[in-house]
Structure 1
Amino acid sequence: MSDVYNRVAVRIRPLLSRELLHHHQECVRVVPQGSGQVMLGSDRLFSFDHAFGPTASQDEVYESCVQPLVESLLGGFNATVFCYGQTGSGKTYTLGGGSQDEGGIIDRVAQDVFLLLAKQKNNDGIKAVVRVSYLELYREELRDLLDINTNFKELHIREDEKGNTGNNSEFQI
């Protein structure tokens, strides 16, 4: 893996059926394909490490953005996939997949991690412990999505006089 520690990708979802029914039009597009750039409207250009248009498959997104992270996990590195966007922007589809036939990032990561660990164990006899977090931050409330008994917990994020951010336990208020 290269020395770039943070990468940003954008995925433009296709218009929903109800949007097409109301004659909505796409206002964001990847230009040109493969450039990592998107155009908003007719004149606002934004650059990302990866940009995927509405026809991009789950395979494309996973192989370009996430699979390298999975491989680095077995090298001892931590990895985080952070999905951000407004309600209805396609985060759940990208993470969870649209159907059983086309799994999302979570399905693919789990499958690859255990396949790679099995190969490593067979070759080296290594034991591994896998820890996973799946958290939702919504309106400054944090919820563990892997624990169905967990309610939202209030999360307090603070900024000190130097502009550093942290939670209540890190800063004296």
Structure 2
Amino acid sequence: IEEIPVKVAVRIRPLLCKEVLHNHQVCVRVIPNSQQVIVGRDRVFTFDFVFGKNSTQYEVYNTCIKPLVLSLIEGYNATVFAYGQTGSGKTYTIGGGHIASVVEGQKGIIPRAIQEIFQSISEHPSIDFNVKVSYIEVYKEDLRDLLELETSMKDLHIREDEKGNTGKVAHLISCLQ
């Protein structure tokens, strides 16, 4: 059996202004100089990476994602999976604020990875690169293709072949810039 390394990172989201106004309290604390968090009074959890409420997009990207991007450029596959309840900060970490107008410091994982991948491709004009990307949302057991522009085509239907393999047909899209 081939070993596939999986690393888990946790990022603590700071309270939003409206949460502060309603006297909400932070219920998760980072244990300094460790990869652990405390939830509530005494429940301790360990992760591969822990980012506190003051962590930056740059810090998250450089620590967790950049090594994956560098291995992608060398020909390996990589997956980044953001998981959490609604409002936990997944969209901000993955994309940044409003993706079309994100300032440099707020750029999330995707804009940073895309920039780095295509920068590397431009530095190696003699090599042919084939880039395939999926951007999928799983919400209430429904899958949606977030790169699909046509609303009617957003819902994904995963198919299983006779060998039990699952997959989705890839579609060519052009740059949205």
Q: TM-score range by the shorter chain?
A: 0.7 to 0.9
Please give the secondary structure, in 2, of the residue aligned with 1:143: strand
1:151 paired with 2:150, answer no
* Runs (4+) off by over 3 Å: none
Contact conserved, 2:136 with 2:143, CA < 8 A, in 1? yes
Please give the secondary structure, in 1, of the residue aligned with 2:54: coil
Please give the secondary structure, in 1, of the residue aligned with 2:112: helix
1:4 deviates by: 6.9
TM-score scaled by structure 2?
0.81
Aligned with 2:108 (options 86, 104, 107): 104
Deviations 1:3-25 (A, max 9, x none): 87110000010001111000011
Please give the secondary structure, in 2, of the residue aligned with 1:146: coil
Structure 1 vs Structure 2: percent identity of aligned residues? 51
Aligned residues: 154
Match of 1:76 in 2: 75
Match of 2:141 in 1: 140
Match of 1:161 in 2: none
How do 1:11-160 and structure 2 match up within 5 A?
A: 11-33=11-33, 35-98=34-97, 99-101=102-104, 102-121=106-125, 125-149=126-150, 150-153=153-156
Structure 2 distance, partners of 1:73, 1:151, is 26
1:116 deviates by: 1.3
Please give the secondary structure, in 1, of the residue aligned with 2:84: coil
TM-score scaled by structure 1?
0.83
Structure 2 distance, partners of 1:115, 1:168, is 36
Structure 1 distance, partners of 2:7, 2:124, is 27
Contact conserved, 1:140 with 1:154, CA < 8 A, in 2? no
Structure 2 distance, partners of 1:40, 1:120, is 47
Structure 2 distance, partners of 1:145, 1:126, is 29
Residue 73 to residue 27, structure 1, CA distance change in 2 (3 Å):
same
Please give the secondary structure, in 1, of the residue aligned with 2:123: helix
